[in-house]
Structures are given as structure tokens and as C-alpha cells.
Structure 1
């Protein structure tokens, strides 16, 4: 028999589900199964479960026709489980690496009805906070099992389903299931503990409880938090049914109930001010209804005072106490901030700079009305006319001529703009005025921190590639690649986004977890790839001629990614030897990354078949003229795949890169073509023409099906119709629109 069945419900967790599944399946313990329940999720959670099931027979997906909520979804998974034990793991949490052998050893050694494991709260800002395990069990709890009546303090551990592994037959015999609604863990976890004859505690951290910045019910205001009362009512009805067997636990359970109610009431992210009096009134009613005849352990201090105010039904006094405590906390935080900021007056210099004056000018312009026709475009930190913003700009000129498009450009890049493109130079008064008054702001990176999101303005984030390396908040786990980043400021910039353009479902999933905010995702393909999808043979011949490339030459484009952890890095790559492998008709184009390691050698005729194209402004030109792309971990592979031409992944430092920088995607495991891990292997691929072998072709077709299905030449049109013309189809042709929101319970 399988030892552990993992039940993983999935609803709007596409950005986290892969990490959850990987954390289970990659454990050094194989006697398990995963029941993945797609709770009619509107995102790609169901597709992710199906994808994992296709490559791992331990994964069994269940797709529900309608959303039933977290509790019923867990029940459906429980009914399909065959393991001796069941572990309910939410789709946005993940197991600690290497924990499962320890859990399995304890289960096999002690055969508990329920084994509680430790966890940490993993916050979105990469801060982890410990559980109450050490407070509840100051001394190690040991391996011996016990009944709840012998150690009632166990109830002070978090009452969730995911921090305990429960014997499946025990649940069946006691008819323990999850109720519908929010706070469904309450009416499952406490009764399970009360009914268990053998409870075990493993004081080893086994699960990361993700504290999401957006999307969690614990961070969502609304009247559904009143559902906590119904869940506790179910607990007491069960106690009434079970009678004397659990009667001595009633005081401790009652104390937990009041603690939980006060926790929900005291969380301003859950209960809005106008709902708090009614919520308090229901606490008072339940206090009188369920209070044990012989009393209960009333906590001391301020918490005890709260209990007494609840018992008396004194909401006004309770509210005043709460306000006083909050004011004191705010004052203490303010003092700490001042202490950190205060510097001797002698060290401060009152100088009015030109930049400060321009910022004042910007703030003044913010008080003027928005220009209802102005759209401001930028790309790559004002490097010029490029990428997705350029494609959206061109489509807007054709489809929305009433929109006046203006580009922001650095002074040294003005001469790279196409004729007829209106622009402002970064840092000038015209630049600040346009930033303040534009109705639309379009960029493939973020605008500066000082830019305000005005009511009525629309910020469109187009991004500039399908991510291989980790981005955004995920970089916190890889500090070498995140040096100098301020993640609090990053999130303030992300909060300005109204729309986020993605080229495929994979990108949508990764951006959702890397940049958690309330924007709407436009999963419509990449506008910059429209040109690749629609290019004609005549256009390609013209581009080759402009670069001095003959019609019969075999062109290889080498375009590696940037390595933040290795400044000045150059790959182990000998152009002359590769040219020899290509033969007399071979031509090699080399393009370094646009970031710090850009090598801008002068353009000119190719010397011996080698041409450096690092300074060529439009990378799409280079894709079109190339017969083969050689890259490593660059997003170039996703764009070039639109052309359906051979791609080679040259990855001599893959293991070092993935450890130092962190990755979302393994191009060696799911490559877009042939793979070489050293330079001799790369040469052999070209000498043997293995780049066009059947396995390489099949890999490319799988890659294209997964990542390029939306790049049909009309992505820019879809963006313009949605953002500039406010066309709101349910499912845009060739893509999907998704809004951020709250998880279903």
C-alpha cells in the first residue's frame, strides 16, 4: 500500500503550483501519490496538473466541472486517495526539501492517527517566521504518541489541515470530512485531534506556509469572515454528539474558539470597521451559548481583559482598548523610524539642484488634467524604440489614430528613432510634463520610482521576454543575482500596473508569483513577435543584403544571456573553430546581452565570416536573417522559436548558473532543439548536422506548442484593442485575459 497520499487542491494558484508539486515529487522518498484537484480554476492550474500527470505516474489529476471550494475539493481528493496516510497540502505552499523520509520514518515507527509537523510562515518578502511549536512544547515532544486529553496544549498549534498527516482509515471510520465555506480547517482539525487515540508531533519544519501578498482570504476584507462562527458551531455539535468521551476537553476548546474569534476581529485586513460591531456581537452570543458550566482557562493580561469585555458584551470599551493599543504600536514604530533617520544637522546640506526643481515641476504638472489623447512609450530604460512597446505603438497608430504616441529616449539615443516618431528626451521639462499628464504609460521595464499612478491613467507593462531565470520577488532566494535590489520599491512600482502582457501561460504563471499585485494579465502573445510571425521571404532577403549576407550563406546567431554573478564573463567560445565547423558557406553573428556586458564594437564588413552585431538596434532583424540560433539561458529561444528554425542550447555552466541565479525552466530537460554542454559537443552538433536531427526537430515542435501558440502575428492588435479601445471580450481571439483576485475558500 502507498504510505502517503498528498491531496493538493488547486484554485488560482498557477504561479505557485509547480513549486508545490516539485517539492513533493522531488523528495528522496517515492512511496507516495498526489491527488491534484482542479477546483474549476479559471487559470492554468488544471493544465499544470495534467502536465505533471503526463510525466509522473504518481500524479492523479481530478478536474471539477464547477468550483466547490477548498473543503469539498479536499473531500474529493480524500475519496480518491489510496495511501495509508493523507497529507492535505495547499497548492501555494511547498514542502521543505528532504523532510519526507523523516515523516515516513515517524509514521512507520509509531503508526499515529495524526502526526503534526512543524512549519514556517514564508512571507512574500522572503522573511520566515516560526510557528508556535517551541512555545507549546518548550521541551522536545518526543516520539511517543498521546491522546489530546493528556496534552491539551496541542490545540494551541495552528489548526490547519496542511500541518498534519492523518491516517486515512481513521478519517473514514470517524466520518471526519471538511465542511464547505471559509475557515473549513476549524471543523476538521479540532475534531480530528479530539477523536484520535494516537497523536504524534514531529518538531521538524516540513512545510513552508506561503504568506501571499495578494489573493489570500486572510488578507481580504468582507462579510465571509462571519463563516468562522458556523465552523465552530460544527465543532461543538460534534462534541455534543460524542458526549462524555470528549467532555473534559470542552474548556480548552472553548478558549481556542474565543482566541480564534478575537484573532479574526483584530485583523484589520479581514473585518472592515463597519462590520466589527456585528462581529463582536456574535462573539458575545457564542460566549454565552457555549461557555462551559465549570468555567475555562481565561488567559492573563490584556487578552484576559478582552475575554471579560466579550463576556459583558461591552463593544465600545473593547473598541477603545483596541484603538489605544494600535496607537501605542504606531507610536513605537514611529520612534524607531525617526531614530534610524535622524542625522546631525551639520551633516545635512540644503542645496536646490536642477533635478529637485524638475521634480517640483513634475508635482505641479500632476495637478493639471490628464491629456486624454497622450500615450507615453519607453523601452529598456529609455534606450530607444524597441521591443513590445514599439510593436504596440505601431499598432496603435493604425488602429487608434486618435491616440498621440510619444517616446521617451535618452539624449544619446535620439538618432536611433525611426523617422516621424515624436519623442521627449529623458530628464527634460518636456519629459516630466509628459510623465505627469499621459493617460497611457507603456514600458517593458518599470518607470522610475518618483512616477505617480494618477486616477484615470493606465499603466501597461509589456515585459521583454519569457523568463528562464527567476525574477521579481523570487530573486530574494538568490541574493547573488539580487544585489542592490530594493524589493519594497519594486512592489510599489508593480502596484502601478494596470495590465501585464504575457506571451504564454508559463510566463503568466511566473509573473503572478514574481510580481504579486492586482493588475490584469493579457495573455495574448508578444507584440514584438508579430513581425517574426508575419515576415515575408522578400523582407528577409532585404535584411540579409543590408548586413552583407549572401543568399546561400548559412547564418548562425550566437546570443548568450547576462550573468549578474559573473561581471565581465565571456563564454568558452572560439568563433574561428565554430566557423570551421560551419564550412565555407558559414557566417557567424555574435550578439552580447544588452546589459552591462554589451560589447559595442564598430559595425563593418565581416572578417572571415564573423560579424559582431551587439550594437544592432533591432534584434528581430537578426532573428530573421539567422538560419540557426545558439543561446544558453536567454529568453531569445522563445522568440526565435516562432520562426520554427533550429535552436541549439549551449550550456557549459548550467549547474553553476541555476544555483547562483535561480531558474524557472530547465532548457536542458525541455530544450527547443539540440543541446551541448561543452564546446567540443557544440562543434560536433554542427559537423554532424545533429541540429536538424529527428530528436532535435521533435523537441522544437514540443517547445513551440508550449510557448509559441499565441504568437500568430496579431498580439499587438489584441493589446491595442483592449488597452486603448477598451474592447472587453471574455476570451480575446488568440489569448486569455485574467484579473487578479482572491482565492476561493
Structure 2
């Protein structure tokens, strides 16, 4: 109808409405933040509850890692302590039934932080946390350090982008206990995270499940992931590269599987810093489909370790945990020089590896096509590695931590469980070893129809 002025007026009105709505939302958010902090300050004036503990892991990503193992141990060993778990809404389903769920940024969340006696995390809580004298902060960390961490990152600006080292020291001052899985970890943490905390050399609670799981548990986990009976499942878990803009790994998994044959499948696990999948992986079913299974979104890396028959990684600290299973480990170190220069490492893992070391994808395929990767030489390397880096991971680390921190049991005379030496432990066996032995491996069903693999992938 030629009503251009009316049309322009409506456009301006719509834009004004959007700006007004945005401003109102911003004001409401600011007001809510002020009210929540006022609520927190009031809670800080109230007594600490000695029968409360609050847990979190990986910035609210869900239940798991060492804090998850400790939460379960709290309920078993110290049932008088009421536990709560902090998880973002999309991860609330990972929290077990019977454990109180807390959403970050709510009034209940701030109340728990202000009044719970025990605070347990594998990273740090909100920087606005006020650590009260009556509270006990247990910092579990999340692995054995190969790459440089903490204050050592001051020498590696590419890896330390955005890191506030003054804030790091303020957070460290809040810790009362730090968990360690070996002497290397103890000496490293006490240097790069200086503080007045006590180091508990009891092992890593998240690794307890490796000694406690049964063959039936392993079979159940493999079935849930869709791994066919008799398949050799390789867990591929590369670490994060600070020097790369994209984290797509150079290893072509489909091409690797094409060379290895139908008895192998790959469980592809992206680093927790990445939101997307590691590779274009289709779910595997018994009737057919791809043999690369994307498990990046699986909530428990410990369950993935149990479901696999071997680990392929590069410089990930997962190798130190996986060694507890006494299953083959292969290191792909094709970009070691770049990783060492950008991130920094505490020792050259190629000189004391947990298994075979390869330098390219072709070497990896050649190795896995034979038997050396799971032979006697690899077993000897793995045993030495386990003796050095897994001295206390005997399945009772979480229990020892709870008995020390909550019940005051500091030694074996007061009730602390003794450590079982690595040679006497019996970790959960892999499914391939249990069902078929190490030299007899079944064939994985081939996908229906012809299959081609593009060399350029």
C-alpha cells in the first residue's frame, strides 16, 4: 500500500522493544547477583554444619573423577555426613539418586558453599568462595602431571593464555588437603602450587574402580557402548594441544581400522576441553555400521578404560591411570618436539614409557598388526611404569582419604587400610583376555555392503 513510513516506524518500535527487554534483563541479572551475594554473606555469619559435604568436578560438568569416588566413600565410610553435588542443569542426570543436587549460582548453591564443613573438588570452586576456618577443602586434582602445570606455566605463554597467577595462589591458599598418586606428583604439586596444605599420598580415588570392577561389569559396559562380542576395543584418547587452533587429531581412525582388519574397533575420546566429538564417528551396532565409536560425551572415562582392551594416547595423563589395569598402552609421539616446546614436560615419557612407542600413524598400524604391542616387552615396560607411578592405587584410596580427613585415622594402627603392593593386585581383566585369551581374538562383524576409505581423510 506504499506505507513505508509506517513500516519504518514499526521497525524502530521493534528495535526499541528489543533494547528495552535487553536492558531490563541485564538489570534483573545484576539485581539477582547482588541479592545472591548478600544471601551468601548472611550465610557466612551462620555456623558451619559439621555433617555436610559438598562436591564438584570439572567446573560443574557432572558426577565423576576423584570427587565422585570420594562422595561414594563418604556415604559408605562416614554415613553421618550428608552429601551434595554441584552440577550444571545439563549434567544433573549424572548425579546418583539420593545425593542432593545443586545448580551453580542458586541460593542453595551459595548456602552449601558457606555452611558445609567439607568442600571437595578436582578444580577450584567459584573465585568468590570465602574459605572459613572451620571448613576443610580437599583438592583432589585430576591426574599425574606430565605437562607443566601451575606456576611453571609462566614460562609457557602460549599454554598460559588468560591464566591469572595471582588468583592461582589465592585459590591454593584455600586448600587443606591435596591428593597424590605418586612421589613425582607430590613433589610437583608442592612446588607449582605452593601452600600450607597437607599432601595425602593415598592414591587417586578415581582409580579405585579398576581394582573393584568385575568381568561382568566390563561385559556390561562394552555392551552399553555397542562393542561387539569378541572385538578388540582400542581407546584412543589424545591430549589437548595448546599450539593448535583446531584439535582435530592427525590420526585417521577409519584408515587405521581399514589396515588392521575387522577384529578391531576404536573408542574415540576427545579431551574434556573440547565440546565436539574427536572424529566423525558413527555408533557401532552388532548388525553393522562404522567401527569408530565416538565416546567423547560419555560421562566416565574410567568406564571407557574398563570397556577397552588397550589404550592409544600421546601425552595424556590418562596413561598413568590406565596403567593400573595392566592392559597394553601405545604412545603415538609424532609431535613431541612441538608439544615439549609449547607446553613443557617434566620428563621424557619416551625414555620410560608404559608400553610401545611409535612416531607415525603408519608405525602404529604396523605395530597393531602384529603382537609386539601386547607382548612380553610391553608387559615389562608397563610393570616398571606401574611400580613408579601407581604405588598406592590399590582400590582403597577413597576410603583412606575419608578415614583420614573425616574420622581422624592417620595410620594403620588407628584403622587406616594398608596399601596392597602392585604385584599383588588383581585389576579387572579386559574382555578380550577373559573371553578369548590373548592370542585368540574374534572377528568384528563387517558393515553391510561395500566399504571404501578415502586416503585423504
Structure 1 length-normalised TM: 0.50
- Measured after TM superposition, the shift of residue 605 of structure 1 is 3.2
1:712 maps to: 394
Asked if 2 retains the 8 angstrom alpha-carbon contact of 1:568 and 1:597, the reply is no
Asked if 2 retains the 8 angstrom alpha-carbon contact of 1:567 and 1:597, the reply is no
**Which residue of the other structure, out of 187, 204, 216, is the alignment partner of 1:509?**
187
Asked if 2 retains the 8 angstrom alpha-carbon contact of 1:524 and 1:734, the reply is no
- Measured after TM superposition, the shift of residue 502 of structure 1 is 0.7
**Which residue of the other structure, out of 223, 244, 262, is the alignment partner of 1:545?**
223
Quote the Cα distance in structure 1 between the aligned partners of 2:259 and 2:376: 21
1:674 maps to: 356
- Measured after TM superposition, the shift of residue 695 of structure 1 is 2.5
SS of aligned partner of 1:453 = coil
**Which residue of the other structure, out of 349, 369, 382, is the alignment partner of 2:60?**
382
2:110 maps to: 432
Asked if 1 retains the 8 angstrom alpha-carbon contact of 2:55 and 2:67, the reply is yes
Quote the Cα distance in structure 1 between the aligned partners of 2:65 and 2:106: 24
**Which residue of the other structure, out of 333, 354, 373, is the alignment partner of 2:51?**
373
- Measured after TM superposition, the shift of residue 575 of structure 1 is 1.0
2:267 maps to: 589
1:722 maps to: 404
Q: Which structure has the larger Rg over C-alpha atoms? A: 1
Quote the Cα distance in structure 2 between the aligned partners of 1:407 and 1:665: 36
Instruction: Within 5 Å, give how 1:252-291 maps onto structure 2.
Output: none
Asked if 1 retains the 8 angstrom alpha-carbon contact of 2:282 and 2:291, the reply is no
1:457 maps to: 135
**Which residue of the other structure, out of 620, 623, 640, is the alignment partner of 2:305?**
623
Instruction: Within 5 Å, give how 1:149-164 maps onto structure 2.
Output: none
Aligned pairs, number = 387
> Unpaired runs of 5+ in structure 1?
1-348, 736-745
**Which residue of the other structure, out of 552, 560, 571, is the alignment partner of 2:249?**
571
1:647 maps to: 329
Asked if 2 retains the 8 angstrom alpha-carbon contact of 1:439 and 1:457, the reply is yes
**Which residue of the other structure, out of 410, 418, 423, is the alignment partner of 2:88?**
410
SS of aligned partner of 2:142 = coil
Asked if 1 retains the 8 angstrom alpha-carbon contact of 2:281 and 2:293, the reply is no
Q: 1:603 to 1:382 in 2, by over 3 A?
A: farther
> Unpaired runs of 5+ in structure 2?
1-26, 420-457
**Which residue of the other structure, out of 531, 534, 547, is the alignment partner of 2:212?**
534
Give the superposed CA RMSD.
1.9
1:249 maps to: none
- Measured after TM superposition, the shift of residue 584 of structure 1 is 1.5
Structure 2 length-normalised TM: 0.81
Quote the Cα distance in structure 2 between the aligned partners of 1:545 and 1:724: 38
**Which residue of the other structure, out of 632, 643, 659, is the alignment partner of 2:314?**
632
Instruction: Within 5 Å, give how 1:690-701 maps onto structure 2.
Output: 690-701=372-383
For 1:404-429, what per-residue CA distance to the aligned partner results, in whole angstroms no more than 9, with x for missing partners? 00001112211222222211111111
Instruction: Within 5 Å, give how 1:258-407 maps onto structure 2.
Output: 352-407=30-85
- Measured after TM superposition, the shift of residue 598 of structure 1 is 4.0
SS of aligned partner of 1:381 = helix
Asked if 2 retains the 8 angstrom alpha-carbon contact of 1:710 and 1:734, the reply is no
Asked if 2 retains the 8 angstrom alpha-carbon contact of 1:440 and 1:458, the reply is yes
Instruction: Within 5 Å, give how 1:481-520 maps onto structure 2.
Output: 481-520=159-198
- Measured after TM superposition, the shift of residue 707 of structure 1 is 0.8
SS of aligned partner of 1:446 = coil
